């Protein structure tokens, strides 16, 4: 129930923000993935369970082709998306929702991989490639699979922000009898996102360089999303009563959070915005969900929107060629 008199915003006015975060090592990684796909048996396509639509990269579809794929949603422990939604979205597709801090949560993924391995005639084991956008938990997934499967320490560096993995790894064994080997790959962004809200989502969860978007805009967008998840303001009521005003919220945050007041006792709103969003990004504040996380048809609607965008872009390219000619 929402607090009496408080009505959350029903939409977020899209600010002017960059629509892309596609870097040189992203393009290099795509070329390498295409080269390696021929020797790969299975793809783990990793997405962030907090933003299950925004962290889907359609570039991978052309790389994967007809290869078997398991969609892996990480950060289950930080996501407010109900399991029924994932089931509705993937009624005909293999998927798994995991918490990479919990060995038991990756057992289903290993079992799915073993089933595929048992159905193959191979003496070299099953070879898997992990794909995903930046900071969706690919390296953490690999480390958990490796530790749970063969009891060895982590094989890949991890971090709270995008860009930790820059190169494709060598094969890493995650299971014996049957042998399962995994390639880790760098996170790859889309050349262009479908809208400004997607960029805000990716920035808030740390899947792009967080410095691309003003911290106060990120905080305002997070406040908007939290009010959609829980309209009673319970996800931040230890700092502020329910509000749609980010400056009011950040002022209260500065007062109630130690060290957030500048000299003279004035609230440091910019510092507070950065600090608060970062705490959510690291999972220190609770569960959150972005995208249309209550809509059973959101997955199909998202795909239709992507197809429409691609048609428009092809049409614009054709018009430009015609004008040049």
Binding-site residue ranges for GTP: 135-140, 187
Cα distances (angstroms) measured from residue 61 to each of 56, 132, 147, 216: 10, 11, 29, 35
Give the residue from 238, 242, 239, 225 showing the smallest Cα distance to 1. Answer: 242
- CA-to-CA distance for 275 and 281, rounded, in angstroms? 10
- E-strand spans in the chain? 42-48, 69-74, 95-97, 126-132, 172-175, 180-183
Task: Say how many residues make up the chain.
Answer: 325
Cβ burial 261-275 (10 Å sphere, 16+ → b, else e): eeeeeebbbebbbbb
Please give the C-alpha separations between residue 304 and each of 94, 128, 205, 223, 308, in angstroms, as whole numbers. Answer: 21, 29, 24, 28, 6
Count how many Cα atoms sit within 13 Å of the Cα of residue 13 in the half-sphere of its side chain.
2
Give the whole-angstrom CA distance, residue 169 versus residue 26: 15
Q: Is 137 within 8 Å of 78 (Cβ atoms)?
A: no
- Gap between the Cα atoms of 20 and 6, Å rounded: 35
Determine contact, residues 21/202, Cβ cutoff 8 Å. Answer: yes
User: Could you tell me which of 283, 228, 233, 276 has the C-alpha nearest to residue 251?
Assistant: 276
**Measured distance CA(82)–CA(121) in Å, rounded:** 38
Nearest to 286 by CA among 78, 98, 73, 135: 78
Annotated binding site: 135-140, 187
């Amino acid at each position: 129930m929402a607090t009496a008199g408080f009505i959350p915003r029903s939409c977020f006015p899209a600010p002017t923000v960059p629509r892309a975060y596609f870097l040189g090592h992203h393009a290099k990684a795509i070329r390498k993935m295409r080269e390696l796909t021929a020797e790969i048996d299975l793809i783990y396509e990793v997405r962030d369970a907090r933003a299950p639509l925004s962290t889907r990269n359609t570039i991978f579809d052309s790389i994967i082709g007809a290869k078997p794929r398991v969609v892996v949603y990480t950060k289950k422990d930080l996501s407010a998306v109900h399991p029924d939604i994932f089931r509705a979205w993937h009624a005909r597709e293999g998927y798994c929702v995991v918490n990479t801090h919990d060995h038991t949560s990756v057992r289903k993924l290993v079992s799915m991989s073993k089933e595929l391995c048992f159905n193959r005639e191979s003496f070299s084991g099953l070879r898997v490639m992990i794909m995903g956008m930046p900071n969706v938990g690919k390296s953490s997934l690999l480390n958990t699979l490796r530790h749970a499967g063969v009891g060895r320490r982590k094989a890949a560096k991890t971090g709270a922000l995008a860009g930790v993995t820059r190169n494709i790894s060598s094969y890493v064994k995650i299971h014996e009898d049957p042998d399962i080997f995994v390639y880790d790959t760098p996170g790859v962004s889309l050349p262009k996102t479908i809208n400004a809200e997607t960029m805000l989502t990716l920035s808030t969860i740390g899947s792009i360089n967080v410095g691309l978007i003003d911290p106060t805009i990120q905080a305002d967008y997070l406040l908007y999303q939290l009010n959609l998840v829980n309209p009673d303001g319970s996800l931040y009521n230890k700092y502020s009563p329910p509000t749609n005003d980010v400056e009011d919220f950040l002022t209260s945050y500065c007062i109630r959070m130690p060290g957030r007041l500048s000299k003279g006792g004035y609230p440091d709103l910019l510092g507070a915005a950065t600090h608060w969003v970062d705490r959510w990004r690291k999972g220190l504040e609770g569960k959150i969900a972005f995208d249309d996380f209550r809509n059973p048809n959101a997955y199909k609607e998202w795909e239709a929107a992507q197809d429409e965008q691609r048609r428009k872009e092809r049409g614009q390219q054709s018009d430009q060629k015609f004008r040049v000619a």
